[in-house]
Structure 1
Amino acid sequence: MAKSEAPIFRQLFESESCTYTYLLADKITKEAVIIDPVLETLDRDVKLVQELGLNLKVAVNTHCHADHITSTGLMKKKIQGLKSAISKHSGASADIQLSEGDDITFGKHRLTVRETPGHTNGCVTLVLGDGSMAFTGDALLIRGCGRTDFQQGSARKLYHSIHQKVFKLPEDCLLYPAHDYKGQTVSTVGEERKYNPRLTKSLEEFVNIMDNLNLPNPKKIDIAVPANLVCGLHDL
């Protein structure tokens, strides 16, 4: 895709949960999509949409998050016509229930859904139509991956998801995760296939690593999961 044809793209950060939110828009029609918006940064994100003159069509979550509350429910109250989206396997309510191969379109661009369960049953990776970038949620992180020790987690499922759905994308496809805790912002398929310390291992080695992380639960898991099942509007 020529540079002039590439979508408007913004990578936004929420510091408490180290979450990345992504905003993509068609330069001509101004139709836009936002990925993994966070409650704490709702006003910032809505203001940016307004400043850029965008018509935000869809707010999509890559999965039902355990470490922060989504802002999709409240964002719909602030932006007329906005629809929420999440995987049909997430157990969460949303206007659009996503399945493998579904497209989220904005202007002449599209994000295609690849189901990548393992961190949760409802994890998806969203791939830009030309294969130049993909948004991996918590499935694949930069030199890491999502946890598999709660919320229907399965190390075996995650290993297969990444190898079959993400690592088969073009080598130079830019990978944008839902989180990073070290200040890294982007990777590529080629880099992660070569250098990811977990996913360069065999399946059995990977399962052993994931079964022995012994990490504490996310601080907000008890409030975030129930809230995110209802678009972040639980008890607000």
Structure 2
Amino acid sequence: MLFRQYFDAESSTYTYLIASGAGREALIIDPVKDMVPHYLKAISDLDLKLVRAIDTHTHADHVTGLGDLRESTGCTTLMGEFTQADCVSEHVREGDLLDVDGVKLRAVYTPGHTNESFSFVLNPEQPQAVFTGDVLLIRGTGRTDFQAGDAGKSWDSIVDKLFKLPDDTLVYPAHDYKGWTASSIGEEKRHNPRLANTTRAQYIELMNGLVLSNPKLMDIAIPANLACGQLPAGRNKPGLAAV
């Protein structure tokens, strides 16, 4: 399998390009608009055909590359069924299976960070990895204080769904701010400070007590991402701080 992980330093976003091999059809998860030329160069160099571009949820800290990739490659853009983005070509529901030239992803509805977040399990019959978006981060979890986030649903998504995966399943989130590139389900069960040795009630209290500033790009990113990355007329992207 061909697997590439890309990092956007401005938003601390990870993007994942996956194919069963060079010269084959490919998919990309959580692309960043400013990085699209970089992805297209990699796709060309590896002789890939991009057929699906996926966002795990409506991001608030960067502008998505979905629309630009669709325009450049003709790929299908995809999000979960509860997204408010009316520009998306295809929607997935809980349990749907995506098969891109032998690369199989199972869609898992994991609300909490937002009310429309999905995760995607690679090779679901024998799980190899899970792409968690922002719901489960490495040694952390996504904030739950806007975009219809809910701390209780975040706990349920992580503990009752993601933590049911085998312990050796690799965890690939959409963001990291401390230099981690991957984790595993077992590691997060044991070492995630928000989840290990914690009750649901304690987690909710913790998350609801966080006082966080809004992402600086939020007022531009959300409307742009609901339009698959089309920036509002007359708006230029400002500098971006970590979420």
Bin of the TM-score, shorter chain as denominator length = over 0.9
Q: How does 1:53-202 map to 2 (within 5 A)?
A: 53-79=47-73, 81-93=74-86, 94-129=88-123, 130-200=126-196, 201-202=198-199
Task: Compute the RMSD of aligned alpha carbons.
Answer: 1.1
Cα separation, 2, equivalents of 1:205 and 1:229? 33
What one-letter code is carried by the residue in structure 2 that aligns with 1:40?
D
* 1:9 alignment partner, SS class: strand
- The answer to whether the 8 A contact 2:22-2:48 is kept is no
CA positional deviation for 1:76: 1.1
CA positional deviation for 1:140: 0.1
Cα separation, 2, equivalents of 1:31 and 1:104? 13
| TM-score computed with the length of structure 1 as normaliser | 0.95
User: Which residue is equivalent to 1:211?
Assistant: 208
| TM-score computed with the length of structure 2 as normaliser | 0.92
User: Does structure 1 residue 223 correspond to structure 2 residue 212?
Assistant: no
CA positional deviation for 1:211: 0.9
CA positional deviation for 1:235: 2.4
- The answer to whether the 8 A contact 1:29-1:107 is kept is no
User: Which residue is equivalent to 2:21?
Assistant: 27
What one-letter code is carried by the residue in structure 2 that aligns with 1:219?
K
Cα separation, 1, equivalents of 2:221 and 2:96? 26
- The answer to whether the 8 A contact 1:90-1:120 is kept is no
Cα separation, 2, equivalents of 1:9 and 1:230? 28
Structure 2 unaligned spans of 5+: 234-243
CA positional deviation for 1:74: 1.0
What one-letter code is carried by the residue in structure 2 that aligns with 1:59?
A
* 1:70 alignment partner, SS class: coil
User: Which residue is equivalent to 1:3?
Assistant: none
* 2:195 alignment partner, SS class: coil
- The answer to whether the 8 A contact 1:21-1:178 is kept is yes
Runs of 4+ in 1 over 3 A off after TM superposition: none
What one-letter code is carried by the residue in structure 2 that aligns with 1:208?
E
What one-letter code is carried by the residue in structure 2 that aligns with 1:190?
G
- The answer to whether the 8 A contact 1:110-1:128 is kept is yes
Cα separation, 2, equivalents of 1:220 and 1:150? 14
Cα separation, 2, equivalents of 1:127 and 1:107? 16
Cα separation, 2, equivalents of 1:73 and 1:195? 37
CA positional deviation for 1:28: 6.7
User: Which residue is equivalent to 2:238?
Assistant: none
Cα separation, 2, equivalents of 1:198 and 1:104? 31
* 2:51 alignment partner, SS class: strand
Q: Deviations over 1:30-50 (max 9, x none)?
A: 110000000110100111111
Structure 1 unaligned spans of 5+: 1-6
* 2:161 alignment partner, SS class: helix
CA positional deviation for 1:234: 3.5
What one-letter code is carried by the residue in structure 2 that aligns with 1:169?
L
Cα separation, 2, equivalents of 1:141 and 1:24? 20
* 1:160 alignment partner, SS class: helix
What one-letter code is carried by the residue in structure 2 that aligns with 1:164?
D
* 2:164 alignment partner, SS class: coil
Q: Deviations over 1:76-106 (max 9, x none)?
A: 1111x30100011121120011110112211
Aligned pair count reads: 229
